[in-house]
């Protein structure tokens, strides 16, 4: 699968990744999304009742942990990371509102159309994310 992300995801990722209490986020993202087939990624809560382009909310990292929102476009084998938030800690929140879910959904469609995305790859040691503007 090819992995992309929205600006919203990158901003939030950079903010969390700079904090010690969330320093497992990067590895969690790498472990869950890289070198996976779309079948591996079809779990969690599907928000949009779509078989071909599921919009998914996934819990990562067991206790408390993170919530990642992403879209799969199965026929293209693309993943679009849309947003991430921790459940606990100083930046933690229980959930995001339905309006925010709808906003991100609309935003990802617009960014796919205009190709306003980041392309995600790993460094040589496969332990760091590199964001490249498309």
Partner 1 sequence: MMECLAHKSEIADTFSSVRSFSYLEKKSPIMDHEKMNAFLDSLIDFKHSLKEKTKTIISFNERIEKITWYNDLDEECYMLINDLISAIKDLHSSLIRQYISMNHLRQKGIVKEEIRYFKDSIDNLKENYQDLESVFFFLPKMPDFKETTKQLSLV
For residue 69, what are its two tokens? 């929102």
In Å, how far from its chain's centre is CA 123? 18
Can you tell me the distance from the alpha carbon of 61 to that of 51, in angstroms, rounded to the nearest whole number?
Answer: 26
Does residue 43 interact with partner 1 by CB under 8 A? yes
Can you tell me the distance from the alpha carbon of 77 to that of 64, in angstroms, rounded to the nearest whole number?
Answer: 30
φ and ψ at 109, to 5 degrees?
-60, -45
Does residue 74 interact with partner 1 by CB under 8 A? no
Does residue 17 interact with partner 1 by CB under 8 A? no
Select 43 or 127, whichever has its Cβ closest to partner 1. Answer: 43
Does residue 91 interact with partner 1 by CB under 8 A? no
Going across the sheet that includes 129-133, the strands are 45-46, 55-60, 66-73, 78-86, 2-5, 118-122, 129-133
The window from 3-11, 19-27, 32-40, 41-49 that contacts partner 1 (CB under 8 A) reads 41-49
As measured in angstroms, the least distance from the Cβ of 10 to partner 1 is 21
φ and ψ at 133, to 5 degrees?
-70, 135
Does residue 57 interact with partner 1 by CB under 8 A? yes
The window from 4-12, 25-33, 109-117, 125-133 that contacts partner 1 (CB under 8 A) reads 109-117
Q: Which of 52, 123, 124, 125 binds partner 1 (CB under 8 A)?
A: 52
Q: Which residues bind partner 1 (CB under 8 A)?
A: 42-53, 57, 59, 63-64, 71, 73, 87, 94-95, 98, 101-102, 105-106, 109, 112-113
């Amino acid at each position: 699968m090819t992995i992309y992300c929205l600006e919203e995801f990158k901003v939030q990722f950079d903010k969390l990744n700079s904090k010690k209490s969330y320093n497992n986020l990067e590895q969690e993202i790498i472990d869950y999304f890289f070198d996976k087939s779309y079948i591996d990624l079809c779990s969690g809560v599907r928000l949009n009742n779509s078989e071909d382009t599921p919009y998914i909310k996934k819990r990562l990292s067991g206790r408390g942990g993170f919530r990642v929102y992403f879209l799969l476009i199965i026929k293209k084998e693309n993943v679009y990371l849309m947003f991430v938030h921790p459940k606990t800690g100083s930046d933690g929140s229980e959930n995001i509102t339905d309006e925010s879910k709808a906003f991100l959904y609309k935003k990802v469609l617009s960014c796919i159309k205009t190709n306003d995305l980041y392309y995600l790859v790993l460094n040589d040691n496969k332990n760091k994310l590199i964001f490249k503007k498309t």
